[in-house]
Structure 1
Amino acid sequence: MTRKLTFADRVLLLRREMKLSQSAFAELLHIGRSWMSQLEKGEEPSPMLVGLFEKIEREWAERHQAGHTTEEVASYVTGARGKLRHAREAKGYTPAQMAKRMGYSQVGTYIDIEEGRSQMGEKMARKAAEILDLDVSELMSGSDHPIERGAVVGTFGAVPDIHLPPGMTAKYVPLLAMAQCGPNMAWDDGGYTHQGFLAFNPEDPKAFAVTLAGDSMMPRIEPGDVALIYPSQQPKNGKVVLARLNEDKGGDVLVKVYQANGDTITLSSYNHGAYPPMQFHRGDFAWIYPVAKITKDM
């Protein structure tokens, strides 16, 4: 008798057919790499995650049945930028190495292109095509417009020319994706002038904003919502935080409810039925920052 495939079997099979790393496939599912690893080991997925995976699975099967090659289907399912990422990984380059070869001073600039938050012009597309042994038409086809998040564009730290009620202030802060939250969160005006987020009455001069992903905090916090982060302040028990694990712990960036008891840190989800609480040692984290405010994605 043939054994019925489990969800973990299906995930692993599709990822290998698409020739994607765990990190790359995790991006398609809007989850972290460590959670991707747990899914492939049999962790129970949330209904939202199952629905998203089955959509990708259907698209993959339908395109194959229509006679398209594996490479064509992978490009279609992952989008135009999926071709860029696929070729980069085939060459064995990390995003940081690729950014350096292309001449970007900030790795986040390159990550923005791969993840659809920024554009790549024809000059840089030709440069990337040469590095990755691609035809430039492969990088210029399909959508080349960044994902719209409703953010107001401005320079980090600048004060917008808008009329506000007495006592209210506003300034631009960097708007990042969770994938850009590196071990050393230090901001300057160099790499983030192209995409800003308008923060009102910010209490932290080092404040930044993050576009959130994943369903672990639903229904209160949804994918696409924007969190305003105060890195200069200390996290408080029972409050939501943005935390980054050390590289030896997977390096994931997590949005969770924080609870500290000595050096034991417990991170909990609002969607606790699908995501049980996780316990860590304080030394497991590169940083833990409080979430000051959540702006709902419209």
Structure 2
Amino acid sequence: MSTQSERIKERRKELGLTQQQVADPVGVSRVSITQWENDPSVRISGANLARLAKVLKVSTNYILNGGPSRMEEPSGQYHLENNLAAAPAMHGQVPVISWVQAGAFTEVCHVELDPEDTIWLPRPPGASEDCFALRVVGDSMVPRYNPGTLIFVDPEVQPENGDDVVARLTDSSIEEATFKRLILEPGAPKTLMAINPNWPHRFIEINGNCEIIGTVIADMNLRRR
């Protein structure tokens, strides 16, 4: 059975693509593609894996596990669109995921994404490869974050007092993640707080029943959706 590296290299050559032609739309360097094609032990992040699968026109499962799970592809040679500019390699892109997917983020190394349906946004400067975006719902964090605001969440950033975080309550039957401000004050219990002063049950005391999924490092509002 072929290795992950062999499948990536073989598929790239089948499509007649150079390593650079794969690297640009994935948002990584050519050196990264070389590593992926030669070192089977290299772990590809969930976001990069989804973009790589889209470029190679295969499923993420085919890259990871092999087998007859390639996506159906049109006949003829595959050509990259020359009217699209790749995201800067130093930043890459992040997926916009659902709150249910965010709630499951700590249980797996990455969430399963559909390369065709996932919305991708430029990765904020300094963010890790595991950074992802969420669209705010509800009014618990107004006026700072209105419904529809996109927040960028980085699991690699250690939260500090006053940071806004996405968390999962392990003693709750609700699968979705929650978005609150983390309060870490000396002599006081660790607390998640809704910014909205009129929000019912504004404070949630946490003591081992909460997993911080990631820290909000940036946000943006779109004029059109």
Return the TM-score normalized by structure 2. 0.53
Aligned twin of 1:285: 210
Q: How far did 1:236 drift?
A: 1.0
Q: What SS does structure 2 have at the residue aligned with 1:180?
A: helix
> Which amino acid counterpart does residue 218 of structure 2 have in structure 1?
K
Aligned equivalent of 1:176, options 69, 85, 97: 97
Per-residue CA deviation, residues 249-296 of structure 1 (Å, 9 max, x unaligned), is: 644422111112479321222211234532323311133421011111
Q: Which has the higher contact order (CA 8 A, sep 6+)?
A: 2
Counterpart CA distance in 1 for 2:132 and 2:172 is 25
Q: Quick check: which one's helix share is greater? A: 1
- Correspondences of 1:226-237 after superposition (within 5 Å): 226-237=150-161
Structure 1, gaps ≥5 residues long: 1-152
Corresponding residue of 1:257: 181
Q: Give the alignment's Cα RMSD to 1 decimal.
A: 3.2
Aligned partners of 1:288, 1:264: CA distance in 2, in Å? 19
Matched, 1:222 2:146: yes
1:242 is matched with which residue? 166
Change (3 A) 1:288 1:189: closer
Distance in 2 (alpha carbons) for counterparts of 1:287 and 1:163: 29
Counterparts of 1:46-65 in structure 2, within 5 Å, are: none
Alignment-mate amino acid for residue 215 of structure 2 = P
| Separation (CA, whole Å) in 1 of partners of 2:90 and 2:167 | 27
Secondary structure at the aligned position of 1:217 is classed as coil
How many residues align? The count is: 143
Are 2:194 and 1:273 equivalent residues in the alignment? no
Match of 1:297 among 214, 222, 225: 222
Task: After the TM superposition, list the runs of 4 or more consecutive aligned residues in structure 1 that deviate by more than 6 angstroms.
Answer: none
Choose from 135, 139, 148 the match for 1:211: 135
Q: Secondary structure at the match of 2:94?
A: strand
Secondary structure of 2:100's partner? helix
Structure 1 pair 283–173 and aligned structure 2 pair: CA distance change class (3 A): same
Please say which of residues 240-249 and 225-234 is displaced more in the overlay: 240-249
Q: Which amino acid aligns with 1:268?
A: M
Asked if the contact 1:266–1:277 (Cα under 8 Å) also holds between the matched residues in 2, the reply is no
Give the AA of the match of 2:147. P
- Residue 154 of structure 1: how far off its partner (Å): 7.4
Q: Pick closer, same or farther for the CA change 1:234–1:281 going to 2, 3 Å.
A: same
**Alignment partners' CA distance in 2, 1:204 and 1:268:** 26
CA shift in 2, pair 1:188/1:297, >3 Å: same
1:204 is displaced (CA, Å) by: 1.4
The structural deviation recorded for 1:176 is 0.7
**SS where residue 170 of structure 1 aligns?**
coil
Distance in 2, Cα, partners of 1:244 & 1:278: 15
Alpha-carbon contact 1:208-1:230 (below 8 Å) kept: yes
* 8 Å Cα contact 2:150-2:220 kept in structure 1: yes
Change (3 A) 1:278 1:244: same
Q: Deviations over 1:229-256 (max 9, x none)?
A: 1101211111111111114464442211
Residues 234, 290 of structure 1: 8 Å contact kept: yes
TM-score between the two structures when normalised by the length of structure 1? 0.41
